[in-house]
Structure 1
Amino acid sequence: MTPTQTAPRQILTELHEIMAARANAQTKLNQVVEIIGKALDSEVCSIYLLREGVLELFATRGLNQDAVHVTKLALGEGLTGHIAQNVEILNLAEAEAHPDFQYRPETGEERFHSFAGVPIIRRERAVGVVNVQHIEPRRYEDIELEALQTVAMVISEMIDNADMIDRDTMLDTGIAASGPQRLDGLTLVKGLASGNAVFHQPRIKIEHVVAEDIEAERQRVYSAFSRMREQIDHMANQAEFGVGGEHEEVLQTYKMFAYDEGWSRRINEAIDSGLTAEAAIERVQQRTRMRMRQIDDPLLADRMHDLEDLANRLLRIVSGQIGTAAQLGLREDTILIARNLGPAELLEYDRRRLKGVILEEGSLTAHVTIVARAMGIPVIGQVRTIRHLVREGDPLLIDTIESTVHVRPIDAVIDAFNAKLNRRKKRQAGFAALRDLPAVTKDGVPITLLVNAGLRDDVGALSLTGADGIGLFRTEFQFLVSATMPRRERQTRLYRDVLDAAGDKPVVFRTVDIGGDKSLPYLATDSPEENPAMGWRALRVALERDGLMKVQARSLLEAAAGRTLSVMFPMVAEPWEFARARDIFEGQRQFLIDHKKLLPDHVRYGAMLEVPSLAETLDLLLPEIDFLSIGTNDLTQFLLAADRAHPKLAERYDWLSPAIFRFLARIVRTVEGSDTDLTVCGEMGGRRLSAMALLGIGITRLSITPAAVGPIKAMIRSINLAEVREKLETVLAKPPENMRQTLRDWAHDQKIEVD
């Protein structure tokens, strides 16, 4: 018979009776395949479950019964293996036409043409497959696929309450969850960390799939939708930066999903079929996830991620499981596990107990990576299987030197890790002992060591490291961790707190470097950028959206009243951009004068040289600026045309390149003799070998991460600067094939520790 709208409801009613019966699990599965086969008028219905790492045929209607518990498929093998591996639905009028089709003679399935299958999902991964087959070629209707999904959810609950599958297998794709594991990932923030596993979003376990009272479930969903929409409306109303901006468009898109009738209708239809509110949301969410995996358009994929986020929010509201691990509180040294994480979410955690972060996704340029680096929290990303291989409370070790995560480590691994950690602590103690000693070379040349910062708490690094000041305060962090544009009062309070904490040590505030790879949901571009690092970002955004810079200018000027304010503009490509930015600040200063407000005693203006074109007009810019900072991170990738976040270009993105150092040496010569302070900002100055080379071409001011101050100071105090400069002059005059190795060998001969 052709299925009707009542088919899923009828199937679920019968499944409910089966689950309530006192039969063993195998008998129940045998009954399930009969029910679904009859309801869908299908000659074949089969259930495969994952056990010991392979998909095993557990029950069938229509195939040879002798194949039950005999036919086994690896993940990815055949159509069934394809469904489980990719966690997706297949709907084929002709099964043999699919490239993954594989014939298993013991099943007797050669007579059947059409095929449809859905994954049985538990904790976001496939633990089995339920499929149907027909002799006649035909594609299955949506209502039939939804019926299969409903069956899959019931089977998922059934096997979770039975001994049909090892519980460890459900969690770990066939790998025992009690044994040790070593997982590889991508180092995002360096460091060593140990602690117990805590999931950022504690798993929501759907206790019941089949509804007892459909109207009651519907009311639960209506109530959850109402509460979720209130939250979204509140979020939209918190937009703090004027009206009519692009941030409003983004929030309106988010609201559009929250009020989308199609989405709520699909959830209600799932409830009509007999599912509980939680199961209905989960079934619709599963379909969304499967579609997301098939989307190549990044903009559309982002929109689907928005819908996924809203579904998670709705599921937590309806289940009453709303809190994150941060809201519940950390009770011990913790390694946090998440698919992804926002910077604001990271900052909610107790920094005393949060020792490290492991992400299933994550990237070098993600907002959370930037903030974690500032907080000194080791992070490893791209650990795809972490949430399925780890249980809450499992002991974990993060070793970013090897880009590995050790799960439930054995004693030998723990001993080796502790030895490495002790060596690191011993070295750090040695560096800490240099805190109050000057950064002066053996031949008496003083070097200025500044730190990079971005959070209020980072200012404490000045006293901990003995640094001379803050050479780069990244003001965009406050924007990255906010759901909406920070109000002027909030900005002013942050900047004043930073200046107060720094005391008599100088602070250079860099105006916001947002846009590009640091996109904000409330300040979005019309379409994704192919080359975000060279796109609509930093000063380009601020000059086009000058209201943003006006607010920041007033905030900085008011915060620095009675003090010296040092302001630096990022990504200046031509002198006119600097002039226009300075004019905006001067306009706000005049506004404050007119309104009888207190002003800074002195305002120093500077520029970041990150775009190579600025070097060609330095002679025009130098008379206009008080200081110049070279941003080596972006400058290097622009000069080498090598994306620093691209893993295949890691070897090409090398600071110790003759081209880079000849370029930098030319800038040093241009600035010499002027009244402009020249500083190098970025990771290049925080690595001892490249820092030594920078000193060798005439750089005497470095702004680096707080953790690098001790090692760099030790290196400075061990060198004769005249000898280093002589060596660099020789190397750059006739560059060797491998400049890095040449300088490393020379440093070792001179007893300079650079590794």
Structure 2
Amino acid sequence: RHLLEGSGASRGMALGRARLEQPSRFLVDETPLEQGEVAAELERIDQALASARGELRALRDKLKGPLAREVAEFIEAHSLILADPEFIHGLHDLISTGRYHASAALKMQRDSLVAVFEAMEDPYLRSRREDIEHVIGRVQGALSRESSIEERKLASRVGEILVSDTVAPSELVPLAEHGVLGFILTAGSTLSHSAILARSLRLPMVVGSHQALSHLQDGDLILIDGDTGNVVVHPTAQDLAGYRHWQREVAQQDKRRARLRDAETRTLDGTTIQLYANAEMPGDIANARAYGAAGIGLYRTEFLFLQRKDAPGEEEQFLAYRDLVLGMGGQPVTIRTLDLGADKADSAGLALEDEPNPALGVRGVRLSLRIPQLMHAQLRAILRTTGYGPVRILVPMISAVEEIITVRRMVKECAMQLRTEGHEIADQFDIGAMIEVPAAAIALPGMIPHLDFVSIGTNDLVQYTLAVDRNNNELGDLYDPLHPAVLRLIAQTIAVCRRTRRPVTLCGEIAGDVNFTAMLIALGLTEFSMHPGLILEVREIVNAINRAELRKLAPSLLHATDRESIRSVVQSMRAQFRPIVENVALAPSQA
């Protein structure tokens, strides 16, 4: 048993087999063998070869139909290499005569055989070096696997956990559909798009586990904890008992919270709190309805654009937005216009010049206004859905009032065109701004006359306020929503909206984190937007606290000059919770 550490990016636990994206990374022991160790090392390599042959036989037996015929050639080629007397004799000779450990002998055989294939003139034969790589990787995996017979039996009955450097948002859904139970990434951020999507899919994810690829082998049994960021390799009976206890607790928790699906979200002293859902995929709409969301507080349209050769046209967007609105059955829907930058534009079919700092470049509304035809197509698609239910338009990355004025003019132009063409659209529609740039929060009193509502995007607001790249693993300790400057900008935004009677929603990741629920209510927030799967958990907290008592603590929050003082105040708010939620612990600064 050993422990790998990282940062929890998506909550929950999973038990499964490690599936390495780069299974060729193996630890090679290059120290020479003692004479007395040779016999045992020969036995190790023979057992690893036998295990690899067995894996290939099992794979051949599992395959059926056309797939079996398609891969039979590769299985046969790999089996022949594993049975080749010259290959086996070479390994034995390196171990017994050269006194190499089995892992080092395999590497030397691999290097020698690959050199032969690379010297071939025929491109096809040269390409077959990959077979050598795969075979050696399979034997190295069998050689390095330190699991017992009982563990291997258990591993054969559970699903897979992907271990990789990174994973693209577009890959998450198909991986989940194929049974992947969780993710361990050596890089990544708790606030990356992939982490956000993993939370939406309720798949545990650990990021920043730097040693995962070098210390794990394919097939290792691992226990992943997306709350703590810990990965247990070769878990013990005690670890497995803890996992089963967690499963029972989750089942009881889900049963208890299921009763809240149709309940109101109301504090003990009678204040109604609106809980909206963030969405990007069709499945999120069904979950929003199932968990009793008050509507969609943020629909991320960029997921329609990513991983395509061409940007989606008006009609394709309209059909997606229409299905969204119809799926919510008359509840309000807030659709955010495209929020992409140069770093992701290429994967969305938009050609932009590379930027040295995309986070401070052409992104959000800046991109949309630079490509008017793109913005017009999206606005027309959104406006056409207003005839099917209540729809609001949210504009990201606003930093100046002129941007809002320009967008309002474009919306008016598109509406006139649509009415002229005979489309039935609403008589009027609300337009709001994302407050995620400090300049927007500070200048909000001058912007507010041009806005119908406001949405606070804390993920970027924290990043831009603190000058901390939220995707930089080295700066994780500095990225802190409990920084005094961040809290004051949030409180100031809420105060301006309350004073001018404009609705204000917070849709950043802290909206769905129960560690921040009481604090945000203390600051005056009454509208939250979060991943659908978190709604019942937040509702349970809201129904257990007294808003009036929390509001008395707001001055203490805003007058605090350091993060520890703020954390102390937030911790004291737990006294507002009923015993049923006493197990909720305040998270560290990493949100």
- Residue 526 (structure 1) aligns with: 353
Q: Secondary structure at the match of 2:402?
A: helix
> Which residue of the partner structure matches residue 319 of structure 2?
493
Does structure 2 conserve the Cα–Cα contact (< 8 Å) formed by 1:450 and 1:469? yes
The answer for the alignment partner of 2:366 in structure 1 is: 540
Instruction: Deviation per CA, 1:709-753: give whole Å up to 9, x if none.
Output: 222212211222111111112443465772333224422444454
Find 1:277's aligned residue among 104, 122, 126.
Answer: 126
1:423 match: 249
Which residue number corresponds to residue 519 of structure 2? 693
Q: Counterparts of 2:326 and 2:90 in 1: how far apart (Å)?
A: 59
**Following the alignment from structure 2 to structure 1, what is the Cα–Cα distance between the partners of residues 89 and 539?**
58
How far apart are residue 417 of structure 1 and its match?
2.3
Query: Partner of 2:490 in structure 1?
Result: 664
* CA drift at 1:383: 4.6
In the alignment, is residue 334 of structure 1 matched against residue 268 of structure 2?
no
In 2, Cα distance between equivalents of 1:669 and 1:365: 27
Query: SS at the partner of 2:430?
Result: strand
2:431 aligned with 1:605:
yes
1:589 partnered with 2:415: yes
Q: Any conservation in 2 of the 1:736–1:742 contact (CA below 8 Å)?
A: no
- State the match for 2:235 in structure 1: 409
Match of 1:343 among 163, 166, 169: 169
Separation in structure 2 between the aligned mates of residue 576 and residue 349 of structure 1, nearest angstrom: 43
**Amino acid across the alignment from 1:495:** Y
Hey, what's the Cα distance between the residues in 2 that align with 1:612 and 1:602? 29
Classify 1:401/1:618 alpha carbon distance in 2 versus 1 (closer, same or farther; 3 Å). closer
CA distance in 2, matches of 1:432, 1:654: 32
Three-state SS of the structure 1 residue aligned to 2:553 is: helix
Residue 335 of structure 1 and its aligned partner are, at CA, apart by 2.1
Cα distance in 1, alignment partners of residues 418 and 27 from structure 2: 72
When residues 367 and 518 of structure 1 are mapped into structure 2, their CA distance, relative to the original with a 3 A threshold, is farther
Answering whether residue 311 of structure 2 is matched by residue 462 of structure 1, we say no
CA distance in 1, matches of 2:515, 2:488: 16
- How many Å separate the matches in 2 of 1:743 and 1:384? 34
CA RMSD of aligned residues (A): 3.9
TM-score by length of 1: 0.57
1:358–1:380 Cα contact (<8 Å) kept: yes
Contact 1:365 1:645 in 2 (8 A): yes
- Distance in 1, Cα, partners of 2:523 & 2:27: 63
Alignment CA distance shift 1:410-1:589 (3 Å): same
Paired residue secondary structure (1:438): coil
User: Matched residues in 1 for 2:190 and 2:424: separation?
Assistant: 41
Q: Tell me: CA distance 1:712–1:528, structure 2 relative to 1, closer, same or farther (3 Å).
A: same
Q: Is the 8 A contact 2:302 2:340 kept in 1?
A: yes
Shift of 1:443: 1.0
Q: Contact (CA 8 Å) 2:161, 2:180: kept in 1 or not?
A: yes
| Per-residue Cα deviation, 1:314-362 (whole angstroms, up to 9, x for no partner) | xxxxxxxxxxxxxxxx996332344543333332245383321234554
CA contact (8 A) 1:564 1:602 kept: no
Name the structure 2 match of 1:433: 259
The answer for the alignment partner of 1:54 in structure 2 is 30
Residues 623-648 of structure 1: CA distance to partner in whole angstroms, max 9, x if unpaired?
22211111111112222223333334
> Could you tell me how far 1:474 is from its partner in structure 2?
0.8
> 5+ residue gaps in structure 1?
1-49, 59-65, 70-122, 124-154, 174-205, 212-266, 285-329
Q: Is the 8 A contact 2:544 2:576 kept in 1?
A: no
Q: 2:554 aligns to what SS in structure 1?
A: helix
Distance 2:519 2:123 in 1: 70
CA contact (8 A) 2:331 2:389 kept: no
Determine if the alignment matches structure 1 residue 679 to structure 2 residue 505. yes
- CA 1:505–1:540 in 2, change beyond 3 Å: closer, same or farther? same
The CA deviation string for residues 356-393 of structure 1, in whole angstroms up to 9 with x for no partner, is 12345544465533433332222234555655655555
SS, match of residue 566 in structure 1: strand
Aligned partner letter, 1:423: E
CA distance in 2, matches of 1:587, 1:520: 29
* 2:556–2:569 Cα contact (<8 Å) kept: no
1:562 to 1:160, Cα distance in 2 relative to 1, 3 A = farther
Contact 2:297 2:507 (8 Å CA) reproduced: yes
| Structure 1: distance between partners of 2:471 and 2:554 | 28
Contact kept? 2:170, 2:307, Cα under 8 Å: yes
Aligned counterpart, 1:727: 553
Question: Percent identity over the alignment?
Answer: 29
Please name the residue that 2:74 is paired with: none
Distance verdict in 2 for CA 1:168–1:748, change over 3 Å: farther
Query: Match for 2:126: what amino acid?
Result: A
Structure-2 residue corresponding to 1:353? 179
The question of whether the paired residues in 2 share the 8 Å contact of 1:608 and 1:630 is answered with: yes
Q: What corresponds to 2:199 in structure 1?
A: 373
Cα distance in structure 1, aligned partners of 2:158 and 2:281:
24
Correspondence for 1:510 = 336
User: Greater helix share, 1 or 2?
Assistant: 2
Q: TM-score, normalised by structure 2?
A: 0.71
Q: Which of 475, 481, 484 is the equivalent residue of 1:655?
A: 481
The answer to whether residue 568 in structure 2 is matched with residue 634 in structure 1 is no
**Could you tell me which amino acid in structure 2 is paired with residue 514 of structure 1?**
L
In structure 2, what is the Cα distance between the partners aligned to 1:549 and 1:632? 24
Shift of 1:208: 8.9
The 8 Å contact of residues 454 and 475 in structure 1, kept in 2 or not, is answered as yes
Structure 1 partner of 2:469:
643
Structure-2 change in CA distance of 1:728 and 1:675 (3 Å): closer
What's the offset of the Cα at 1:450?
A: 0.8
> Structure 1 residue 609: deviation in Å?
0.9
Preserved CA contact (<8 Å) 1:472 1:507: yes
2: CA distance between counterparts of 1:51 and 1:738?
42
Name the aligned partner's letter for residue 506 of structure 2: V
Q: 2:234 and 2:215 mapped to 1: Cα distance? A: 10
1:54 aligned partner, one-letter code = E
Q: Check 1:160–1:621 CA distance in 2 against 1; reply closer, same or farther (3 A cut).
A: farther
Deviations 1:593-636 (A, max 9, x none): 22222323542211111111123332332222211111111112
Between 1:731-740 and 1:494-503, the stretch displaced more is 731-740
Task: Quickly say closer, same or farther: Cα 1:702–1:170, change in 2 above 3 A.
Answer: farther
What's the CA shift for 1:494? 1.4
How many Å separate the matches in 1 of 2:560 and 2:495?
A: 19
Q: 1:746 is matched with which residue?
A: 572
Matching residue's letter, 2:546:
N
Secondary structure of 1:560's aligned partner: helix
Q: 1: distance between equivalents of 2:278 and 2:500?
A: 25
Q: Does 2:544 match 1:718? A: yes
Counterpart in the other structure of 1:397: 223
Structure 1 residues 574 and 207 mapped into 2: Cα distance closer, same or farther (>3 Å)? same
Q: What is aligned with 2:48?
A: none
SS of the equivalent of 2:177 reads coil
C-alpha separation in 2, matches of 1:496 and 1:363: 33
For the 8 Å contact 2:310–2:350, the answer to whether it is kept is no
Q: What is the one-letter code of the residue matched to 1:53?
A: D
